[in-house]
């Protein structure tokens, strides 16, 4: 085979153009994309998604996150869910529809970037297939997260950054790039750092140097000013919204006082260097063997395109900000890498494409070796291994549900079979919600002493407290204020039903190994309030239902 640095003979080029040896790669890649997005479409909610859904419903009722409904994630994700509910109705499928649309846009973006950086859209669509497949393999628990939406926003911004705009349109493209990164910042602040990497790319790679020194300096500075200014627009707009609605003090306490305590849990007896290495290792090699093998191929095989190195530099620059953010969080949950997967997938896609051109092109044995390697990468190490059954068995059940339009397998049966992990079980939550509705009218007050906010949505009830789950009261920091406010909320809005929960201990979130029920004695004011006003009537698995004594 000709060297990557030497153009192949005209006869080879004409034969390739006639037979298009990359066609089957593109066809297979698109099939993987369609299959993967179909899986995401029918994912139900996990615990985090339930939180986002409850806060989003409150936004549509005119309530304010943090002040009226509390969580400690940055605000962007609540507005994504609220927008999806406004567009498609208050269902678990609504945010999944938005997610799938954005993922498909990201796949198209990766396809285009393959042409920009690697002179091959085939490499780009292979990257899109890797990204879509890995996103589906994260399953219901690790998707629908802030990272799930920030990743596509980042890809869109890179597409705008690398397009050869005319001088007339360049300014508006940079404004749009900044706005996209500003929106990504609202999902999680480190995602906004990509704006700096894109500005550097435009300043030193994409913009041609001017013949005059003064003009050259202006060209270098302009991307930083334009993108930086535009990125502030959505951030300032949202801050003003919170300020005008009286939600700024609650947002400030949550994000600048409570959240740092949560982050500090991960740094006990751990070094920054060790954490940073662990984050990089997980991103490139620990998360998926498909990413690991593709990345190794990309870095070890000689570049095939002039812009490959500059493309890798831009991707790695954006990844640096993301990985710094992941390291600071210190939890290294799989979904924390969700926004990084499409960037690494683009590197891996080029690696596999270079490998295909080296060993797979023109011979049956080479094609077989290449296919075997890709298949091995797809099967060896998957991002998630704690969900029921294998990814492929779960996918079979979901395709059965989709292809039969829910006739062969109902949605409840699908949830019972697939949507549980650790201490969370959606089927049990649904059954508990049905029992609660026997004692509630829509709009009545409910309080859940536990970590299961989906009960509010499923019962169509109103939370008695802004604290839709009890992590702030169980945490080892800032809990005095949270407990005081909880008791004030419960006295102001006495619930018609109280639910207490067991088996929801999450040491790396609360700093305690006690579950909600076992931690009640440590909160004597709440325990006394509950036992003197309510009586436990029924228990379902991990949930206990309490009704007012006066109503019995």
Question: What ranges do the domains of the chain cover?
Answer: 24-257+274-380, 391-420, 422-551
State pLDDT tens for residues 107-119: 999 999 999 999 9
* CA triple 292-295-298, angle to 5 deg: 150
Average pLDDT, the chain: 91
**How much is the pLDDT for 460?**
92
Q: Closest by alpha carbon to 77, among 103, 47, 43, 53?
A: 53
**pLDDT > 70: percent of the chain:** 94
What tens digit of pLDDT does each residue of 162-198 get? 999 888 899 999 999 999 999 999 999 999 999 999 9
Max CA-CA distance within the chain?
A: 91
* Beta-bridge mates of residue 543: 501, 540
- pLDDT band of residue 354 (cuts 50, 70, 90) is very high
Q: What is the pTM of this model?
A: 0.92
Mean pLDDT of the 127-137 span: 97
* Residue 213's pLDDT band (cuts 50, 70, 90): low
SS3 350: helix
Average pLDDT estimate for 247-269: 91
What's the pLDDT band for 4 if we cut at 50, 70, 90? very low
Q: How far is CA 478 from CA 222, 261, 329, in A?
A: 44, 8, 18
- Looking from the CA of 88 toward its CB, the CA atoms found within 13 Å total 14
**Rg (Cα) of the chain, in Å, rounded?**
26
**pLDDT tens digit sequence for 456-468:** 999 999 999 999 9
263 close to 328: Cβ distance less than 8 angstroms: yes
Number of Cβ within 10 Å of residue 260's Cβ equals: 11
CATH 2.160.20 for domain 422-551:
no
- 527 CB-side CA count, 13 A: 9
pLDDT at 107 (0 to 100): 98
Cα separation, 542 vs 538, in Å, equals 11
Cα dihedral 67/70/76/78 (nearest 10): -110
User: 6-10, 64-68, 394-398: which range is least confident on average?
Assistant: 6-10
Q: Report CA 267 to chain centroid distance, whole Å.
A: 23
Split at pLDDT 50, 70, 90, the class of 266 is confident
Any residues with CB less than 8 A from the CB of 150 and at least 6 apart, and which? 184, 187, 188, 191, 338, 339
CA dist., res. 349 & res. 116, Å (int): 14
What are the DSSP calls for 177-205, one per residue? HHHHHHHHHHH-GGGGGHHHHHHHHIIII
Residues linked to residue 445 through DSSP beta bridges, in sequence order: 462
């Amino acid at each position: 085979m000709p060297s990557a640095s030497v153009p192949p003979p005209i006869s080879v080029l004409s034969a390739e153009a006639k037979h298009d040896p990359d066609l089957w790669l593109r066809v297979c890649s698109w099939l993987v994309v369609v299959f993967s997005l179909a899986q995401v479409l029918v994912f139900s909610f996990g615990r985090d998604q339930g939180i986002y859904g409850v806060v989003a419903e409150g936004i549509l009722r005119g309530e304010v996150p943090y002040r009226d409904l509390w969580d400690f994630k940055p605000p962007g994700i609540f507005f994504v869910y609220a927008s999806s509910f406004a567009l498609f109705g208050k269902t678990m499928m609504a945010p999944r529809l938005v997610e799938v649309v954005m993922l498909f846009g990201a796949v198209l973006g990766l396809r285009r970037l393959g042409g920009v950086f690697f002179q091959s859209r085939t490499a780009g669509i292979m990257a899109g297939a890797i990204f879509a497949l890995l996103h589906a393999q994260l399953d219901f628990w690790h998707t629908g997260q802030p990272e799930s939406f920030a990743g596509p926003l980042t890809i869109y911004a890179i597409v705008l950054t690398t397009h050869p705009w005319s001088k007339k349109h360049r300014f508006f493209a940079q404004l749009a790039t900044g706005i996209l990164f500003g929106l990504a910042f609202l999902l999680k602040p480190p995602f906004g750092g990509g704006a700096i990497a894109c500005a550097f790319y435009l300043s030193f790679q994409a913009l041609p140097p001017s013949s005059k020194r003064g003009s050259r300096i202006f060209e270098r500075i302009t991307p930083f000013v334009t993108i930086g200014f535009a990125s502030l627009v959505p951030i300032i707009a949202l801050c003003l919204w919170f300020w005008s609605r009286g939600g700024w003090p609650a947002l400030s306490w949550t994000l600048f006082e409570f959240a740092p305590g949560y982050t500090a849990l991960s740094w006990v007896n751990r070094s920054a260097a060790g954490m940073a290495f662990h984050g990089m290792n997980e991103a490139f090699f620990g998360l998926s063997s498909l990413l690991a093998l593709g990345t190794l191929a990309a870095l070890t095989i000689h570049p095939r395109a002039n812009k490959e190195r500059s493309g890798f530099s831009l991707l790695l620059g954006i990844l640096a900000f993301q990985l710094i953010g992941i390291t600071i969080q210190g939890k290294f949950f799989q979904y924390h890498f969700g926004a990084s997967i499409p960037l690494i997938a683009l590197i891996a896609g080029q690696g596999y494409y270079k490998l295909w051109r080296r060993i797979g092109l023109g011979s049956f044995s080479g094609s077989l070796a290449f296919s075997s390697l890709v298949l091995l990468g797809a099967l060896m190490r998957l991002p998630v291994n704690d969900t029921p059954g294998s990814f492929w068995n779960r996918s079979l059940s979901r395709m059965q549900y989709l292809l039969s339009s829910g006739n062969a397998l109902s949605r409840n049966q699908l949830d019972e079979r697939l949507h549980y992990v650790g201490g969370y079980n959606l089927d049990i939550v649904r059954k508990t919600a049905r029992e609660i509705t026997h004692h509630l009218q829509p709009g009545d007050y409910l309080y859940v002493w536990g970590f299961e906010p989906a009960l509010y949505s499923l019962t169509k009830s109103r939370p008695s407290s802004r604290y839709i789950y009890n992590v702030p009261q169980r945490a080892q920091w800032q809990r005095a204020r949270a407990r005081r406010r909880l008791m004030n909320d419960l006295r102001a809005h006495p619930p018609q039903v109280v639910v207490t929960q067991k088996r929801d201990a999450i040491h790396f979130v609360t700093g305690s190994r006690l579950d909600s029920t076992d931690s009640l004695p440590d909160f004597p004011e709440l325990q006394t309030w509950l036992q003197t006003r309510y009586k436990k009537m029924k228990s379902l698995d991990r949930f206990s239902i309490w009704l007012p004594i006066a109503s019995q």
